[in-house]
Structure 1
Amino acid sequence: MATPAVNGFSPQEIARLTARAAIAKSHLSWTELMVKSFMGGFFISLGALVDLVIISGSPGLRESNPALATMIAGFTFPLGFVLITLTNMELVTSNMFVMPFAALQRRITLRDLARNWVVSYVFNLAGCLFTAGFLAWWSDVLDTDVQSSYAVTQSQNRVNVQWSVNFLRGVGCNFFVAMAFFLSTGAIEFVSKVYCIWIPVWAFVIAGYQHSIANYFSVPIGMFYGTNFHVGKFIYQSIIPVTLGNIVGGVLLAALPFWILYGRGEVVNVQTGQPAEEKREDVPRMDSDDDTLRGGASSEQRSRARYDGDRVAHAA
């Protein structure tokens, strides 16, 4: 009896693909990493901008049913994560799960991890500030007093809270981001990937959790219209605790337990239930960034190699 086709991978297979994704990230050139990271910040800000336009333009609904207003506006926020994933850009918060997972397997070094985190964080920030300044404020997207007033209010609500509250909100946020990455990696075609990204990200927006990179759009846009705090308080009260919380959520709540469960044993094929065989090293493997690329490959070839989901799916 033939085994029916399965539109996805087992957790063990997803863990293997996650490690390969980390290796691919470690092989990016400086220019590729910077450009991908800038675009990642730009994309996530687009989702935040659409969310802000909808909720700021619905004052009646916010007053009568704030939960419904948050749910409707938050439905548009995952747009940025979908664009990042399907165009293969870099987002430091998902990398806070991916890179430690591979580091625990000793597939990448701590230097690779630090390089990826620092560069992607800085250029994610730059992409967000570009969107906030040029595509939101100077383009006058929030063109009514009600909308600009709400931009200030939501910005102040992100900063004028206890340090520990923002830290824990960062923890919760990045657990959902890690799940979005893990689940979407397990899906094969785009519709399933979009669904796997959309639901976890939508959930953390509804819960009010804080995303350190999205905040580089959401807080500055309010500051442009005049908030009751300045850059120093933004850094201490929001940037630091939310970033640390995102790291804890990505590493301790996602990478570590998933490594314990799925990163140390055999890879199991989802269709057969049997251990998945590794590709032979003597076969050209330009569809993978695994560290078992054929020995004759040059460093340039290794840095240019890319993870190809279709071929991995076919092999599995």
Structure 2
Amino acid sequence: MSYVTPADFTRTMIDAGEAKVFMATRDTLIRAYMAGAILALAAAFAVTVTVQTGQPLVGAILFPVGFCLLYLMGFDLLTGVFTLVPLALLDRRPGVTLGGVLRNWTLVFFGNFAGALTVAVMMAIIFTFGFTEAPNEVGKRLGSIGEGRTLGYAAHGAAGMLTLFIRGVLCNWMVSTGVVAAMMSTSVPGKVIAMWMPIMVFFYMGFEHSIVNMFLFPSGLMLGGHFTFVDYMLWNELPTVVGNLVGGLTFVGLTLYATHARTAPKRQAPAPALHAGIAAE
């Protein structure tokens, strides 16, 4: 059967986290760059579909194609390593240190950002004919997204920051579920179907994904969005990164690790004599 049991895919999660800690710097950066670029292309595709059809659900249904492609090609997103890499540290794998975990996260962050930024520049050129005319309808939508999801949060102050953080938590709860779901099957169709569902949920619900935002907001700045780079970092990217870390590690990584890799002692069945005594009463 192609189905992998939770106990088995949890071990795969830990093994994957360990492998990422010891991956060469060059390989980590290349894989992260490609992951950021492919996800950015998927985001541009989803926004284009949404604008042209007027149906956000259609964009959400189609967006997971990018996530599935990058996963099957072995590329790394920050949201995924937030969940997988710490498990190798918790499992006390030889040579895995906190420094190694932080190194992986840092490299993947900058690799993802570089890949997403590359696509943001390319799409901005397409939407403006090389910056020679005003953005087309898709370009205008990208500008408004960046403005609404920075200044929109800032207008609510602390409540806006809390909302942003919670959206980041919920996002990586779903995205990391997609990462893990791909390990539940040994077949490509099984992996794709399992990944598709939670990724579609996060995108349609408007949760905050740090790597998708690495494309949306820089492209928004290039396409006339009325917000600044500081607005983007303070009122979206950095709180989203923290929310993504908490959501993926807490609700996916640690729960699976605790219940399938480091399970609590099983309860003992009542002694036969106790059963007999209860029956006699």
TM-score normalised over the length of structure 1: 0.76
- Conserved? CA contact 1:104–1:259, under 8 Å: no
CA contact (8 A) 1:173 1:209 kept: yes
For 2:235, which of 225, 234, 237 is the aligned residue?
Answer: 237
In structure 2, the gaps of 5 or more residues are 154-159, 265-281
Name structure 1 gaps, 5 residues minimum: 1-5, 62-68, 267-316
Aligned with 1:56 (options 46, 51, 55):
51
1:15–1:263 CA contact under 8 A, matched in 2: yes
Q: What is the alpha-carbon distance in structure 2 between the residues aligned to residue 89 and residue 150 of structure 1?
A: 28
Identity %: 25
CA contact (8 A) 1:46 1:79 kept: no
Question: 1:153 is matched with which residue: 144, 153, 156?
Answer: 144
Deviation per CA, 1:253-285: give whole Å up to 9, x if none.
Answer: 22221111012159xxxxxxxxxxxxxxxxxxx
How far did residue 148 of structure 1 move?
A: 2.2
What is aligned with 2:99?
A: 111
* Correspondent of 1:16 among 11, 15, 19: 11
Map of 1:38-187 to 2, 5 A cutoff?
38-58=33-53, 61=54, 69-107=55-93, 108-134=96-122, 136-140=123-127, 145-159=136-150, 160-161=152-153, 162-187=160-185
One-letter amino acid of the counterpart of residue 238, structure 1: N
Query: What is the DSSP-based 3-state SS (H/G/I as helix, E as strand, rest coil) of the residue aligned with 1:229?
Result: coil
Contact 1:41 1:124 in 2 (8 A): yes
More helix as a share of residues:
2
Q: Distance in 2 between matches of 1:141 and 1:82?
A: 29
Could you tell me which amino acid in structure 2 is paired with residue 208 of structure 1? G
Deviations 1:160-194 (A, max 9, x none): 21111111100000001111111111110111111
The letter of the residue matching 2:26 is T
* Secondary structure in 2 matching 1:7: coil
Please name the residue that 1:64 is paired with.
none
Q: 1:171-250 to 2 correspondence within 5 Å?
A: 171-250=169-248
Aligned to 1:35: 30
* Cα distance change of structure 1 residues 146 and 138 upon mapping to structure 2, 3 Å threshold: closer
**What number of residue pairs does the alignment pair up?**
251
Of stretches 213-222 and 149-158 in structure 1, the one that deviates more from structure 2 is: 149-158
Q: CA deviation at 1:222?
A: 1.4
Paired AA for residue 140 in structure 1: F
Stretches (4+) displaced over 4 A? 141-144
Residue 285 (structure 1) aligns with: none
SS in structure 2 at match of 1:57 = helix
CA deviation map 1:140-170 (0-9, x unaligned): 3898633222121122222121111111100
- CA displacement at 1:17 relative to structure 2: 0.7
Bigger radius of gyration among the two: 2
**What does the per-residue CA deviation read over 1:196-228, in whole Å, with 9 as the maximum and x for residues that have no partner?**
111100011111101001101011111111112
Map of 1:275 onto structure 2 = none
CA distance in 1, matches of 2:50, 2:142: 10
Q: CA RMSD in A?
A: 1.7
**Equivalent position of 1:273 in the other structure:** none
TM-score normalised by structure 2 residue count: 0.85
In 2: Cα distance, 1:94 partner to 1:188 partner: 19
Alignment-mate amino acid for residue 152 of structure 1: G
